[in-house]
Amino acid sequence: MSLNQTPRASRYHIAFLGRMNSGKSSLINALADQDVAVVSPVAGTTTDIVHKAMEIHGAGPVVLIDTPGIDDVSLLATARIARTRQAIEKADCAIVVVDATTGEGEPERELYAYLEEKQVPLIVAVNKTDLVDDKLSLSPRSRHSVTNAPYIEVSAKTHRGKEELLRAISTLAAKAEERQGPPLVGDLFDPGDRVILVIPLDAQAPKGRLILPQVQTIRDILDHGGIAIAVGMEQLKQLFSGKNSAPRLVITDSQAFKEVDQIVPPATPLTSFSILFARHKGDFDLLVKGAQALDLLRPGDSALIAEACTHHPIEDDIGTVKIPRLLNAKVGGELNYKWQKGGDYPEDLAFFQAVIHCGGCMLNRKAMCSRLEAAAAAGVSITNYGMTIAACHGILPRALEVFQW
Ligand code: SF4
């Protein structure tokens, strides 16, 4: 997979924030060396989030996120500001663009405080320095005590400060790399071990291709020197009925958990793609506790089923049919379900007794963690599809054993 094909969720996310007409879009275009974002002297031109995937030397694959102005007071302001907040939820770092001709003020101060609360590291890019006299330039820290973040003087027009800004981004990205979570699966086996991936080719499987969690898991096994063996259900039976030595680990699609559990001998560790993603992208302990808390649900309780992307529900769809059926059987009655799909996520989760989230393969770790933290802050238990299915079939302990949980 070339860098250009790195899935968005695996890229370092950089949100460009600031007032309307501070030059966020122009700065993105200058960094990307092409017209990515809509640029206009008319304030408020960026009305929606714009993403640009690119590579920054030293930072690797990144995605630049253009956002509407934080000082928008138009009729559409509420919706636009909500979108900016969503961008912050998934941002690994933020570039706050300040107009050198107007300087910082209350909007920036509020933004710095919000970013600090959300623990998003930031760089202040003082833009339009081509329009101000050098003596009026805003960079000396003595004139700006509102944040300790690096101040970099830039001009989207002349490209002044561009290299310095790219270097500052690379430094933040390198720090973030050090804080990365565990690999997807590479630490659960030794080089040369065989790892079986069970991929049922049923009605849910897209024609002619694997889905992203499967592709990423295979890639991670290969990156760590393992032998990835992908099988369907029939081949899995053949594999364990012969004289083959046992593989180190079996990873199944969660929807086939029950059947696979019966085929794979108990001595062979078994887990699922979505449980691997739970550990890789989120707070594993929180999600396990959320799965255990499913025991406390009672008929009539409310559960949110959240998916991070939109797709047409198909017959026996996992989110709308299978999981509700399994949960209803587990609690002995009907739960009250609400569904949320795509980039939106409810602000108020306190209404629910449980949140069941998909594996979140389309989200970066930051965005997934923001969703988990929102549930924890509201005092609501949260778990994911794989753990829910394992818990409903009574095989959660087996599915977690490989993680020594
Ligand atoms: S629903 Fe969730 S796990 Fe499934 S493809 Fe979309 S983001 Fe990935």
Residues with CB under 6 Å of ligand 1 are: 307-309, 358-362
Distance 353 CA to ligand 1 centre (A): 22
With DSSP H G I counted as helix, E B as strand and the rest as coil, what are the percentages for the chain, rounded to 5? 40, 20, 40
Question: Does the predicted model carry a pTM greater than 0.85?
Answer: no
Instruction: Tell me the C-alpha distance between 15 and 67, whole Å.
Output: 7
Give pLDDT, residue 261. Answer: 96
Whether residue 279 is predicted with pLDDT greater than 70 in this model: the reply is yes
Distance 209 CA to ligand 1 centre (A): 15
Q: Which atom of ligand 1 is nearest to the CA of 385?
A: 3
pLDDT above 70 covers a percentage of the chain that reads: 88
- Counting ligand 1 atoms within 8 A of each CB, the residue from 184, 212, 340 with the most, and so the one to mutate, is 212
Nearest residue (CA) to ligand 1, atom 1: 307
pLDDT digits (tens, 9 = 90+) for 386-402: 999 999 999 999 999 99
Domain with CATH 3.40.50.11410 in the chain: 282-398
Domain with CATH 3.40.50.300 in the chain: 3-178
CA atoms within 13 A on the CB side of 394: 3
Domain 194-275 fold: Rossmann fold (3.40.50)
Identify whether the C-beta of residue 60 lies closer than 8 Å to the C-beta of residue 3: yes
Distance 364 CA to ligand 1 centre (A): 12
- Kindly report the CATH class assigned to 3-178: alpha beta
Q: Which of 352, 357, 349 is nearest to 378 (CA)?
A: 349
- For residue 209, report the phi and psi dihedrals to the nearest 5 degrees: -155, 165
**Of 260 and 238, the one with more pLDDT:** 260
Which residues are CB-neighbours of 43 under 8 A, at least 6 positions away? 20, 21, 69
Instruction: Judge residue 312's burial from the number of C-beta atoms within 10 Å of its C-beta, 0-12 exposed, 13-18 middle, 19 or more buried.
Output: exposed
Domain 282-398, CATH among 3.40.50.2300, 3.30.590.10, 3.40.605.10, 3.40.50.11410? 3.40.50.11410
Distance 403 CA to ligand 1 centre (A): 23
Domain with CATH 3.40.50.11420 in the chain: 194-275
Nearest residue (CA) to ligand 1, atom 3: 359
Whether residue 45 is predicted with pLDDT greater than 90 in this model: the reply is no
Nearest residue (CA) to ligand 1, atom 6: 309
